[in-house]
Amino acid sequence: METQITRKERWAFGLAGLGQNMVYNYTTAYIMVFYTDVALIAPIAVGTLMLVARVFDAINDPILGNYIDRHPSPKGKLIPYLKAIPIPMFVISVLVYFVPDMSPALKLLYAYVSFILWDLMYTVSDVPYWGLSVTITADPKERLSLISLARILCNVGLAVSIVLPPLLIKLWGGGQQAYLLTAVLMASVGSLLFSLVGRHAKERIQANNQEPSSFKNLLQNKSLIILQSSRILQAFRMVIATAGLYFAKYNLQDEAQFSLLGGLLILAMILAMFVTPKLKKHFTKKSLYQASLVLGFFAHITLYFLGYHNAWVNYAFLFIMGLSLGLNDVLTYTMVGDCVDAYEQKSGLRTEGLSFAFHTFTTKLQSAFGLFFIGFLLDQTGFIENTLQQPKAMAAIFALITLYPAIASLLGMIPMVWYDIKEKRTQ
């Protein structure tokens, strides 16, 4: 059986991740500010929308993953979904920024419907995309190399979606039209790049399951449950981009500075992803995972006590935060693959669809809890959109990128004490 990933496949997989992240992160980073400051929806209503929509959609992830595992087609288990999703990805990603000028109630209803549809679209793209990283090769080293390249390019997409939009929105005069035009640009390029993986990738590892996988199999995968529990506890680390946009706009009083701060953060993430395969030669994934959280705690809590009035201090600690996030990111995806392999050795069942669906499930729970908390905290501290904020609100915004992520870093370490995959089984 052919096991070597071709260069075309490797780059198709990586560039698809770049495109998906252009689309995904533009919406996750900017939609909350768009809703509160442009569509003029109350912060607590937006926070509740984020919680309800993302929890609802998170539930669909394991349902889709279970369906994928149970219903492979002659053309593959995952590839058909990857071929079908690029056009809906473009259309729905534009519609979320097309909020009509209606009554507040109808405006909120439109936001609920369009954002839930957008989340569902992301599920249908993300579950099979990362599941493919397990079925495209059986070689763990090749898989680590593939995922490392993909995560690097994903963060290039993240960089584009963080650095470019504030400049475009400012260039196009702000307001809804500026956000909408930016969405059209990001979605068209991102969807085109994502279409590459469905056209060029190949599924090589075919499951020989004696019975269809089920949610019971997911619950039996102890290592996967532990890993994802750790990720959920890190929720406040995962919404730093949204919190950072509020920080730049209101604490630094220059929304365009988010391009510089976000770009620096992502540059550090990409650097960490380059060195992760080299570090893996000397340390276990679990030890590196825990080290990434220690590093994150140090960066967030130190900046919290130093304050943000020195620009170079901000730059230095944002860079360290990026190193922590980048190291953690690559390791998490490869460890999910390890959990799939380890469970197959134990049970004879391959559950890549269900396992990576569970991964996107926890990603959405992270976002749901984190974004709801942002909306709640802004509401409780007297936040008023598009005005100079009171000290209490500014302190809360700063805590969203320092104190709360520091606490989340410590919490994320706790479940990993019980993570017990011996890497010699999967290396």
Q: Is 94 inside any structural domain?
A: yes
**Window from 22-36, 86-100, 330-344 with minimum mean pLDDT:** 330-344
Is 203 in contact with 80 (CB distance < 8 Å)? no
The residue with tokens 């009035």 is 309
Cβ neighbours around 307 below 10 Å, total: 11
pLDDT at position 420 is: 85
Number of domains within the chain: 1
Could you give the CA distance from residue 146 to residue 137 in angstroms, rounded to a whole number?
A: 9
Q: Cβ-count burial of 309 within 10 angstroms (0-12 exposed, 13-18 middle, 19+ buried)?
A: exposed
Answer yes or no: is 251 within a domain.
yes
Q: Residue 155 — very low, low, confident or very high, per pLDDT cuts 50/70/90?
A: confident
**H or E stretch including 260?**
helix 257-280
- Residue 37: closest CA among 386, 390, 396: 386
DSSP letter for 381, please: T
DSSP-derived letter for residue 252 is S
Please give the pLDDT value at position 426: 39
d(CA 175, CA 262): 21
Residue-level pLDDT at 35: 93
Residue 300 · residue 415 · CB < 8 Å = no
Q: Report the pLDDT value the prediction gives residue 214, as an integer from 0 to 100.
A: 61
- CATH number of residue 16's parent domain: 1.20.1250.20
d(CA 218, CA 65): 11
Q: Does 196 have pLDDT greater than 60?
A: yes
Q: In whole angstroms, give the CA distance from residue 153 to residue 140.
A: 20
Average pLDDT over residues 120-129: 85
Q: Is residue 220 part of a domain?
A: yes
pLDDT, residue 278, reads 83
CA–chain centroid gap for 373, Å, is 17
Inform me whether the pLDDT recorded for 213 exceeds 70.
Answer: no
- pLDDT tens digits for 288-315? 999 999 999 999 999 999 999 998 998 8
Residue 248 scores a pLDDT above 80: yes
**Diameter over CA atoms, the chain:** 65
What is the average pLDDT across 18-32?
90
Would 2 be classed as within a structural domain? Answer: no
Number of neighbouring beta carbons within 10 Å of residue 376: 15
Residues spanned by the domain of 262 = 7-425
Any alpha helices (H) in 253-351, and if so which ranges?
257-280, 285-306, 311-347
Distance CA 307, CA 96 (A): 35
The pLDDT value given to residue 73: 67
Distance CA 55, CA 46 (A): 14
Domain membership flag for residue 90: yes
Residue at 137 is within a domain: yes
- What type of residue sits at position 421? I
Choose among 352, 300, 351: nearest CA to 134: 352
52 lies in a domain? yes
How many Cα neighbours within 13 Å face the side chain of 50? 32
Answer whether residue 1 is part of any domain: no
